[in-house]
């Protein structure tokens, strides 16, 4: 689902999922009838050299129901947020 710039040598370290609709984790309140259902996910990656990561490709839009993805990143150079909307799939990590 996530493909980092190979130069950074990143590997998945931790995943945390929560969703009231799917009965996962400790989600926020369940959606009312007819509302959309959120899935909150947190992915942590360990990288040999995170400073070399110039981008990450997000492959979540293979799921037709996903229209946008909100991303929060913590990198050696600081923290930032990005939002991807279909069909965009690349987050540039260099500023």
Q: How far, CA to CA in Å, does 52 sit from each of 4, 7, 66, 69?
A: 10, 6, 29, 24
pTM over 0.75: no
What's the token pair of residue 16? 């945390």
Between 45 and 20, where is the model more confident?
45
What is the structure's pLDDT at 35? 62
Please, what's the largest Cα pairwise distance for the chain? Answer: 46
Residue 9 has pLDDT above 80, yes or no: yes
pLDDT on residue 26: 72
Over 60: is that where the pLDDT of 92 sits? Answer: yes
Is the pLDDT at 77 greater than 80? The verdict is no
User: How high does pLDDT run on average in the chain?
Assistant: 84
């Amino acid at each position: 689902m996530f493909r980092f710039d190979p130069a950074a040598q990143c590997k998945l370290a931790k995943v945390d999922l929560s969703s009231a609709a799917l009965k996962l984790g400790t989600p926020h309140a369940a959606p009312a009838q007819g509302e959309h259902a959120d899935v909150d996910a947190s992915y942590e990656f360990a990288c040999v050299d995170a400073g070399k990561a110039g981008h990450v490709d997000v492959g979540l839009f293979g799921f037709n129901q996903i229209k946008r993805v909100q991303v929060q990143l913590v990198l050696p150079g600081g923290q930032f947020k990005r939002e991807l909307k279909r069909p965009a799939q690349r987050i540039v990590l260099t500023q």
